[in-house]
């Protein structure tokens, strides 16, 4: 009987800890957002974070999108050929890339790169007392370290997703025309006929939300890290895992909001 009570107690403590952490993250996010409308704004920090997120993440996002589009076209052809529905490949590729795969894969790539980088950078500042030094110098560490990065993530990821969408569709077009024997003009016409503004908008909204969440979790995990180098490593891992899970969970929530009937 005691082991049952102990198990219930552990589950209760875990649930309370999760609720406490979620509340702390929400308050942290509200504080970071509130600094957007309260001067000063550190444009140099924003520019550095934006370049790190948008420009230096572009190669990995671009390669991921191209090969995803190529694989998607090839796999779609393999499946649709069984039902003589090869003509639907263009529709499947463009809708899958624009609605889902572009934002989600770009988000996961950025989470692995930028979420980890921000967590390690700010975590190192925390364990070496640099954040306390900012406070001593009358500089709000959230305004200086968090707000510019969160804004940069929310603005940079939609730009990356636009590139990912174009390259993903191009990858599918390359496979369809060069390997599967589709006419280029017919494939592109089928792509444009099925694409709607709502499809593109939903993907960009997802990208903005994902960028905000990824940079928020990266900065949060770094800001709250403790315990020297080991703590920074744990914060980096937590940032990548938590932001990746949130990207997938929020993907469903936003999809439900846009396309549920």
Chain segment 240-252, per-residue pLDDT in tens: 999 999 999 999 9
- pLDDT band per the 50, 70, 90 thresholds, residue 110: very high
Residue 100 lies in a domain: yes
Residue 119 lies in a domain: yes
Chain segment 10-31, per-residue pLDDT in tens: 888 888 888 888 888 899 999 9
Chain segment 206-221, per-residue pLDDT in tens: 999 999 999 999 999 9
Residue 195 lies in a domain: yes
Tokens, residue 160: 């990356």
Is pTM beyond 0.85? Reply is: yes
- pLDDT band per the 50, 70, 90 thresholds, residue 150: very high
Residue 206 lies in a domain: yes
What's the domain range around 168?
39-259
> What's the structural domain count of the chain?
1
Asked whether the CA dihedral 12, 14, 15, 16 is positive or negative, the reply is positive
Residue 32 lies in a domain: no
Residue 25 lies in a domain: no
Residue pointed to by tokens 């280029």: 184
Residue 169 lies in a domain: yes
Residue 28 lies in a domain: no
Average pLDDT, the chain: 89
Tokens, residue 179: 């390997």
Of the chain, the percentage scoring pLDDT greater than 70 comes to: 99
Chain segment 30-47, per-residue pLDDT in tens: 999 998 888 888 999 999
* Dist. CA 240–CA 223, nearest whole Å: 14
Residue 260 has pLDDT above 70, yes or no: no
């Amino acid at each position: 009987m005691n082991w049952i009570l102990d198990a219930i107690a552990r589950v209760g403590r875990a649930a309370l800890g999760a609720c406490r952490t979620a509340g702390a993250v929400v308050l942290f996010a509200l504080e970071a957002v509130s600094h957007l409308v309260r001067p000063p704004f550190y444009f140099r920090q924003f520019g550095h974070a934006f370049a790190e997120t948008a420009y230096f993440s572009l190669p990995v996002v671009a390669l991921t999108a191209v090969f995803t589009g190529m694989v998607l076209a090839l796999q779609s052809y393999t499946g649709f050929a069984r039902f003589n529905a090869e003509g639907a490949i263009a529709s499947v590729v463009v809708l899958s890339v624009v609605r889902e795969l572009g934002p989600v894969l770009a988000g996961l790539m950025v989470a692995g790169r930028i979420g980890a980088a921000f967590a390690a950078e700010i975590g190192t500042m925390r364990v070496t007392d640099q954040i306390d030094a900012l406070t001593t110098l009358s500089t709000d560490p959230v305004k200086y370290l968090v707000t510019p990065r969160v804004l940069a993530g929310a603005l940079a990821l939609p730009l990356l997703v636009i590139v990912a969408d174009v390259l993903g569709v191009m990858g599918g077009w390359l496979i369809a025309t060069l390997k599967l024997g589709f006419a280029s003009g017919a494939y592109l016409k089928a792509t444009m006929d099925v694409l709607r503004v709502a499809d593109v908008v939903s993907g960009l909204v997802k990208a903005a939300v994902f960028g905000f969440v990824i940079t928020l979790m990266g900065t949060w995990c770094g800001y709250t890290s403790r315990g020297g180098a080991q703590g920074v490593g744990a914060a980096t891992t937590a940032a990548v895992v938590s932001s990746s899970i949130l990207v997938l969970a929020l993907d469903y929530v936003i999809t439900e909001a846009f396309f549920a009937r």
